[in-house]
Structure 1
Amino acid sequence: MSRFLLFFFILFASSAFAQAPYNLILDYPLSSKALSEDLVTAHKLTYTVENKYLKPKLFDESNTFRKLSGMAYRFGKTVFVDIPIDHIILLVQHEVYGHGYRYREMGFVNNHYQIKLPPPYDCGGGMAYRGEWKGEGVRNPTRHEEIIVSVGGMEANTILANTMISKWMAKGSMNYRETYLYVSNRNNITAYIQSTALCEQDDDCEPSPGNDVLSYLKHVNAENGFLFEKNYRLSLDDLKTQSLINLLDPFQFFALYTYFKTYLWDGGEENKFPMIPLWKVRYLPSFHLGLSPFGPEYYFDNYISTDNKWYSFYFRKGDNTFHDFWGLGINGNQIIDNRYLTFNPSLDLWQQPPIKTGGTEINEIGGGLGFAASGTFLFKVVKGENPFSIYTQLGYKTAGFLPGEMIADGLILRLGLSFGN
C-alpha cells in the first residue's frame, strides 16, 4: 500500500509541478533553507488541488451583479481558506524551521512550538520553546547565539520568499495563490519591526516576552558594550527606518497586481511578470534588509533570465553601526542540462567578524574571509511531460554567518526528490 501511495504521489506531483522544479528534500538538522523548499512544494500541491475544486471563477460574470458576486466569492475564499493555509506555512517556517533550526544546530533537543490559526479562527501567532541540551551539564548560549536565535524566524521567512522567487524565475509567472504567502514572508521582518515600534509608542500595548526584534536589539547592543536601552547604539527607530528598504522589491508589487487584477477582478490564476530587457537577457533588481549577529545588513539582489536559464547574484553590506562586514554570492540554474542531469552551482563569499559559540566552553569561530560552495545535481529518473529527478546538493562551508546555513564549518548535504522541469 505504501509503495502505491508513493507512486501515486510522484505521478500526481510530477504533473502538478511540470512548469518549474519543486523539491522535497531533507538535511541535518532540518535547516530553514531545505525545509523552505518542502513547504513551497506542499503549498503548490495544496493549491493545485484547491483550484480544481474551488475554482477562481464559478460562473459567467458578464454583468455588474455577477462580477460583484464573483469577486465576493473570491475574496471570501481568500479570507476563510487561503490566508489561514498560508499563515500556518509562514508560522511553521518561522518557528519550527527558523528559531527551531538554530536551537537544533546548537544541540538542543525536544524543542516544542505553539502555532495558532489566524482570525477568524484564532488569534494567530506562534512561539518556539528551547528544549534541553543533549550534552553534559548546562549549555548557556552566547550573546551571538542569542542574536542568531532571535533573528532565526525572520531569516527563515526571507529564505522562503527567496525560494518562491526561484520558482517564478524558472516559469516566468506567478499564481494568485502564491501572492499572500510571498508578501507575508518577504515583509515579515518589516511588519515585525514596524508593529513593535507602534506598540512601544502605545502606553496600553505590552510587547510579548518573546518579541524577536526587542531581543535582537538587546543582545546585539550588549555584545558591543551598550548594555542599557537608553544608551543603545542601534535603536528601534534605526531598524524602523532601515526596514523600509524592503519596499524596493518589485516581486511584491507583481504579487499585488496578480492578486487584485488577475485573480480578484478577472477570476484568473496565473500572471506573467515583466522584466527589464538588457541586450539578450532580462533583468530585475531587488533590495531587502537582513539582521546578522554583527548588525543590520542590506541586500542588493539581481535576477537575470535568458531563454532557458536564469541566474541570480547578490551583494550584502553591513550598516557599520558596530562592524564593517560584507558578502556576495552567485547562483546558476541549468548550467548543465542534458538527458541525464541538471547542474546548478552556487558560491558565497563574505568578510565578517568572528562568532562566539557556547558549549562546554566559549569559542570564537570564523572571522575574516569565508566562503560556501555547492552544486545541486538533479539526476533525471523520469523524463517527458511529467518528469522527476533525484535531488542531491553537495558542498562545503567555512565557519561564519550565511542565512539558512549552519554557523560552523562543514559539509553541505541535502537529498530528496525534484518534480518538474
Structure 2
Amino acid sequence: MNYLKDINDKHQSQQRIELNDLENATFSLLFNPLWSLCIYLLQDNSSLTIPHVIWNEVAYMPLIRPGLTPFGIAYYLENYIGYQNKTALFSLYRGSSPFYTHMYGGIGVKTDELWTYQDYCTLDLEASLWCQPKLQLTSLDIIEDKNYWGGLIGVGGKFMVSSYFALYTKLLYKTKGFVEGVVAQNGLILQVGCILRYND
C-alpha cells in the first residue's frame, strides 16, 4: 500500500496503479517450478531438487517474477546457468506504466565463482544496461515521458576464512538509474560484507 501511495502521489496523474494491478502481476509466478517445493514439503524427503534442464553438463533454470520499480510494475525473466561450481544469472526485464507512453526495461548479468583460486578466493563480474525514465530523486527533478540509457559495471571478490565464514567486497560504477538492490545515484559504490555458510 505504501508503494501504491508513493508512486501515485509522485506522478499526480489521473491514471493510477491500483492494488488489483499488483495482484494480477503475481500470476506470473505460476509459470515457475514451485510444484517441486510442494512435493518436498508433503513428502518425507531429506533433499530438494529444483527442476532444471541439463545439457552437456550445463544446467539451466528460468524464473519469471514481477518487480516494483519507481516507474511501475516490471516483469523479470531470470535465467540461471550453472556449470560445475560456476553460476551465472542473465536477467531481462520489461515494464509499462500508466504514467509513461514508452516501455522501459533492461538486461543484466551476475556471476558466482567465475574464477576461483585454491577454493578460498573467488572473482566475479556484474553488469547491467537499461533504458528507463529519469528518476525523480528530489522535488526539483522533473518527471519526463522519455527514456534514457544507463549502465552499471563492477567486479567483486570473496575470501573464505573457513568453510563456514567468508568475507566479500564489490566495487561498482553506475550511472543514475534504477537497479534492484543498488543505490539510485551515479558514481562508485563499494560494498563490503560477510557470508555465513552452514554445511550439513
Global fold match (TM > 0.5): yes
**Where does residue 237 of structure 1 map in the other structure?**
20
Amino acid at match of 2:114: I
Query: Are residues 1:357 and 2:137 paired?
Result: yes
CA offset digits 1:367-398 (Å, max 9, x no partner): 6111122222113444xxx2643311111121
- Summarize the alignment of residues 20-419 of structure 1 with structure 2, pairs less than 5 Å apart: 211-212=1-2, 214-216=4-6, 218-219=8-9, 223=11, 225-226=13-14, 232-250=15-33, 252-261=34-43, 266=44, 268-321=45-98, 322=100, 323-339=102-118, 341-358=121-138, 362-363=140-141, 368-382=148-162, 386=163, 388-419=165-196
Amino acid at match of 1:330: V
Contact 1:217 1:236 in 2 (8 A): no
Shift of 1:289: 0.7
CA distance in 2, matches of 1:392, 1:312: 19
CA distance in 2, matches of 1:333, 1:351: 26
CA distance in 1, matches of 2:183, 2:58: 34
CA distance in 1, matches of 2:189, 2:76: 23
Q: C-alpha root-mean-square deviation of aligned residues, in Å?
A: 2.5
Structure 1 239/381 Cα, relative in aligned 2: closer, same or farther at 3 Å?
Answer: closer
Structure 1 217/237 Cα, relative in aligned 2: closer, same or farther at 3 Å?
Answer: farther
CA distance in 1, matches of 2:20, 2:196: 44
Q: How many matched pairs?
A: 192
CA distance in 2, matches of 1:233, 1:388: 47
Contact 1:377 1:391 in 2 (8 A): yes
Shift of 1:310: 1.4
The 3-state SS of whatever aligns with 2:180 is: coil
Show structure 2 runs of 5+ residues with no match: none
Contact 1:391 1:418 in 2 (8 A): yes
CA distance in 1, matches of 2:194, 2:24: 41
Shift of 1:216: 4.8
The 3-state SS of whatever aligns with 2:136 is: strand
CA distance in 2, matches of 1:240, 1:377: 38
Shift of 1:284: 1.0
**Where does residue 148 of structure 1 map in the other structure?**
none
CA distance in 1, matches of 2:24, 2:167: 44
CA distance in 1, matches of 2:6, 2:30: 22
Query: Which structure: larger Rg?
Result: 1
**Where does residue 181 of structure 1 map in the other structure?**
none
Structure (1/2) with the larger strand percentage: 2
Contact 1:372 1:398 in 2 (8 A): yes
Amino acid at match of 2:24: T
CA distance in 2, matches of 1:387, 1:213: 37
CA distance in 2, matches of 1:325, 1:243: 19
Show structure 1 runs of 5+ residues with no match: 1-210, 227-231
Contact 1:217 1:235 in 2 (8 A): no
**Displaced runs of 4 or more, over 4 A:** none
Shift of 1:294: 1.4
Task: Indicate the percent of aligned positions where both proteins have the same amino acid.
Answer: 29
CA distance in 2, matches of 1:291, 1:381: 36
CA distance in 1, matches of 2:78, 2:65: 8
Structure (1/2) with the larger helix percentage: 1
The 3-state SS of whatever aligns with 1:363 is: coil
CA offset digits 1:195-245 (Å, max 9, x no partner): xxxxxxxxxxxxxxxx335415633xx61622xxxxx35443333322211
Amino acid at match of 1:368: Y
Amino acid at match of 1:236: L
Shift of 1:280: 3.4
